[in-house]
Structure 1
Amino acid sequence: MLNLKKGYIVVFIISVIGLAFIQYQYLRIGLNLAKLQFNTKTGQALQTIKTDLGTKNELTFLMAQAINKDDSHFNLSLDSIQDATRYFLNDFLVDRFLQQGIKTDFVYRLHSEDSTIFLSPGYKQLEEEELKFPMLLNGYLPETVHKRLVLDIQFEDLSKYFLSQLNGLTIPSLLFIVAIIIVVIWVIRSMYWQKNVITTTNDFINNLTHELKTPVFSIGLATKLLEEKAGEDQQKLIGMIRDQNEKLKTHIDKVLELSGMETNKKILKLSPGDFYPPLEKLANTFAAFAILEDIEFKYSLEDTRYWLNCEDSHLSNAVGNLLDNAKKYSSKHQVIQLKAYTQEKFLYIVVEDNGIGIAKNELKNIFKKFHRIPSGDLQNVRGYGLGLSYVKQVIKLHKGNVSVDSQLGEGTIVTIKLPLLKNGK
């Protein structure tokens, strides 16, 4: 079980890493598509800018005056003309980029091919060539200033811009991965906490039951000694003590066996064998007991061989528990039936009674450890909620399953299904 849990944890870690890697690849693809789309839009915007700056208009006329340092057409100083040129050119570029859906910060520089700089607000030289978009101007502006002009557009931080375009994928992906990790870690912690609780409980029960075995043995020994010396009047009382002591011993053994099964201790040694003789012996014993208790008991064992991979004692005890429950939970004339038959490579063992039945909402809980089925007005029913849990564990370890069909006031049918060995081997 421990190795299986470790395997689950390893699979979970690999799955999370794999999911993160796949999301990373998707984001890379998305980022490349965003870059391609950006370059396409930027190219279209630059083409529009080049065309507009190639014609004579108010902006290009103002730019020509600023480049030539000619203030004869304006009642402004040369510095004011250059400031106005920077302002209107910046607004012009922003507008053309927005027309293409580009909303990110940029700076520009207007210079000649001989590197004479005319306008460069906030421009700085960067090593990343992918952030620079140089554009050779033609038309009215270079013809007017008699120089070959280049307009450099430089985007300051495209990485943040691209990531902002992918936030619809990035943020949900990270949130989902974090949510999965948190939930699975919580489940694993709960699983280990539950395991520790079960281990602690079983250790306590084992220690308690082992401590109880000593006084039970002492009571049994004392009863045997008293029985040898007691008179007839005392024999009945001693017999009651002996019977109750045996019941207590049986309950202690049952608790120990059930605890061992839950911790995967190899207390069952399965071997191929014929289960027909042990089952027939159990049926005959219960039939003799039924006569004494005024119980109508019928049994039918079809075929003559039940070849199973089993341990006779525990499997017989499991069936015996079902018969004992059928006897206990009855408030009228008791009718109990035991049937066994083979069908399609399986052995079916059916215990049916006409007792008080089980409510539908209780059927899902009847095999839980320490769960007690309400017994209505039956005050003589006692137990610890271990019998059916023991039956479930035994049948499970025999690779079989057990099912219950019951109606309140009509009785209960319990069916055990066990796999038969092929050819009795």
Structure 2
Amino acid sequence: MLLLRRPKRGPARVGTGAACAVLAVTLIAPAATAVAAPTVTATRLPVPAGATSSEVSDINNAGVAVGSAEVDGVSRALRWPSTGYTELPGTPDHPAAGASRITDAGQVVGSASSADLTSRVILRWQPDGSCGVSGAFPLGVADLNERGDALVTAVAGPRRFTAVVCHPDGSSTPTGLQSGYGIGADGRVAGAFSGTVENGFNHVPAVVSADGTATRLPVPAGQAGVAYDVGPLGAVVGALGTTSLSTGVPVFVPRVAVIWVGGRTVELGTLGGTTSRPADTGRAVSRTGDVIGTSTTATGETHAFLWRAGRMIDLGTLGGTSSTPTAVNDRGQVVGYSTTRSGAQHAFLWSGGRMVDLGAPGGNTSLARDVNNAGQVVGSVTTPGGQRHAVRWTVR
């Protein structure tokens, strides 16, 4: 058994992972389906007058959230402190803006589009600035580290995607990756290169360092792989799998979640089923080494898991047949969404062995996107009419 020391608990990051503590896999019994906690407070985040919908995308450890609201058909980037909101402006040529990530220091990064959606730029607020993505059309911000390096997904040509890092000084660094999912505190990007005819079009997992140096990660012969998040001790979280060509475009099909560390590829196993994979949200790993993802069970259901110190823990569901995690904080609290006994989709907070139903106040479905180290959860509630509203939950 290979043992790695966990890093000491420190200020949390946006988009960094930690190396895992024990590289051995033991499955524990699935947790019983949890009931709602006795005290769940949901607060709809304020929006400008006339807003028809709102979304929240991130929250930092100071409790400041960011996202967007649609007003008169135009998206406006918003920053929500403990009370009220601040509008983050687009530009005259790109008025439709949305904020994607915020650091603990308060840097906010997002994107803005022209009125006809034919042009898009990456914007940075506090301090204000922009980032050019040469030779590609930026789609949006996938992740952000505490240094302010933003991982941007872009289109480089017909059916050609790429990942670019935008820096606080406005410069950018291409990674060459077909896809990028997470960026670490040191600027390393986790993702994958596209396959070639020679390797059967299998995706090649890789990390690209801040200076542009790419390191391809090992995969068994004939298999594909994708890296989803990185850690400060050299560990990389991802998945092994196969490539499907059924649509004419190579599509990665995950088989099992893995950790690459110290030259080894360690499979994390499953919850009794046939497949597992880490979360692809840029929040798959906490600073303390907890990994989140989904796995099939022996009965064919798909459940959220938390992998901690060599054990894969079944987080259960809210009474339904599936659950999906979206983020984990440094206290090991996990948020995401799950089906309920009635078949509805509700946001959840898993903490201390219990899954709490956050409900869908004012709507019929909800989704949790992020949780900070204080246990504050942000996400959205969707009404029967299809309107989305940004919400902050507190569980006591």
TM-score (norm 2): 0.22
Name the structure with the higher helix share: 1
TM-score (norm 1): 0.21
Structure with higher Rg: it is 1
Higher relative contact order (CA 8 A, sep 6+): 2
